[in-house]
């Protein structure tokens, strides 16, 4: 009975678990409603060629507008996966961003699109077909789309995931390793997988000019990428000193708040029109290279 000490403990524990399950179910239901009520938007963060300062592409980042506040993806991506919503949400993000970038390309702006995918999204039934259909329906050429995956994706259930990514690669879609250097995958995968791009994790970039080891590691990753014929993108550039060092290392691409923040399609459109990123100096209003 609940009056006995032991039973009481069990009840407290069960109530605790219950609250957790209820919270997750509630968030799942809320996310479901959010998708139906169009509370999600896609923002675009420019990626630039560090040598010329020209925008080469944009990364699509999902936003959830819950009331007037924007909930960070870290807080809803996992719950969305657990409630089964990540598949339709991811599909929506892909279509929405493909449609937008196809429009920009129709203005003859040579801009590529990167979209993030989790392991569970890739493992979903008909993943390859859904990506191919999104490209077909929006008219975005496969070579303009890069799928960003973290190293773990290539380790967990690697057989199937790698097969699926290889199928898309055969269609011309490009593959990027996101947060490069922080995962636990063996570097050997770089020689075995159809990887085109590595994105250096911001934790390395943060140490540029401040920490000798992180600076050396960044330089080493840039050189490794170049020697393997991969495109290297440095993520999380916030300070001019980081930019200067990355340029000196001949890191080909960069992304970060110093360059441009993630932004809605409208402001991104204006930025692409003028190429006015944070890299354009006062005496160089149109940015270099345009």
List interacting residues with ligand C2E (CB under 6 A): 45, 60-62, 72-74, 77, 90, 93, 116-118, 121, 148, 178-179, 236-238, 255-257, 262
77, interface contact from ligand C2E, Mg ion, none, CB < 5-8 Å by kind: ligand C2E
Nearer Cβ to ligand C2E, position 252 or 262? Answer: 262
Q: Does 178 bind Mg ion (CB under 5 A)?
A: yes
CB 42 within 8 A of CB 61: yes
CB 244 within 8 A of CB 258: no
Nearer Cβ to ligand C2E, position 7 or 114? Answer: 114
61, interface contact from Mg ion, ligand C2E, none, CB < 5-8 Å by kind: ligand C2E
Q: Does 146 bind Mg ion (CB under 5 A)?
A: no
Residue nearest to ligand C2E (CB): 256
129-137 own/partner pairs: CB under 8 Å, 24+ apart: 130/91, 130/94, 131/94, 131/168, 131/173, 132/168, 132/171, 134/91, 134/94, 134/95, 134/98, 135/98, 135/171, 135/173, 137/95
Contact stretch for Mg ion (CB under 5 A) within 209-217, 218-226, 235-243, 269-277? 235-243
Nearest distance from C-beta of residue 88 to ligand C2E, angstroms = 12
Nearest distance from C-beta of residue 146 to Mg ion, angstroms = 10
| 48 DSSP β-pair partners | 55, 254
CA atoms within a 13 Å half-sphere pointing along the CA-CB vector of 169: 15
For residue 133, the tally of other CB atoms under 10 A from its CB is: 14
Residues that bind Mg ion (CB under 5 A): 116, 148, 178-179, 235
């Amino acid at each position: 009975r609940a009056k006995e000490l032991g039973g009481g403990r069990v009840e407290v524990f069960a109530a605790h678990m219950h609250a957790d399950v209820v919270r997750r179910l509630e968030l799942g239901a809320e996310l479901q409603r959010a998708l139906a009520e169009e509370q999600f938007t896609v923002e675009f963060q420019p990626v630039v060629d560090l040598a010329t300062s020209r925008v080469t592409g944009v990364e699509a980042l999902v936003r959830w507008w819950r009331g007037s506040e924007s909930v960070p993806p870290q807080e809803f991506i996992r719950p969305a996966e657990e409630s089964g919503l990540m598949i339709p949400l991811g599909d929506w993000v892909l279509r929405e961003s493909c449609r937008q970038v196809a429009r920009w390309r129709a203005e003859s702006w040579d801009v590529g699109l990167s979209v993030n995918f989790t392991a569970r999204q890739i493992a979903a039934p008909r993943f390859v077909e859904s990506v191919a259909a999104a490209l077909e329906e929006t008219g975005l050429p496969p070579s303009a789309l890069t799928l960003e995956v973290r190293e773990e994706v290539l380790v967990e259930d690697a057989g199937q995931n790698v097969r699926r990514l290889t199928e898309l690669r055969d269609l011309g879609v490009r593959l990027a390793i996101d947060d490069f250097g922080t995962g636990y995958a063996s570097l050997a995968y770089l020689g075995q997988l159809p990887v085109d791009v590595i994105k250096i994790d911001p934790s390395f970039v943060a140490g540029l000019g401040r920490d000798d080891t992180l600076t050396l590691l960044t330089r080493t990753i840039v050189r490794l990428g170049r020697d393997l014929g991969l495109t290297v993108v440095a993520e999380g550039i916030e300070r001019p000193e980081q930019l200067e060092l990355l340029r000196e290392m001949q890191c080909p691409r960069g992304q970060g708040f110093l360059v441009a923040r993630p932004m809605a399609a409208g402001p991104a459109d204006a930025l692409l029109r003028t190429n006015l990123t944070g890299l354009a100096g006062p005496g160089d209003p149109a940015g270099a290279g345009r």
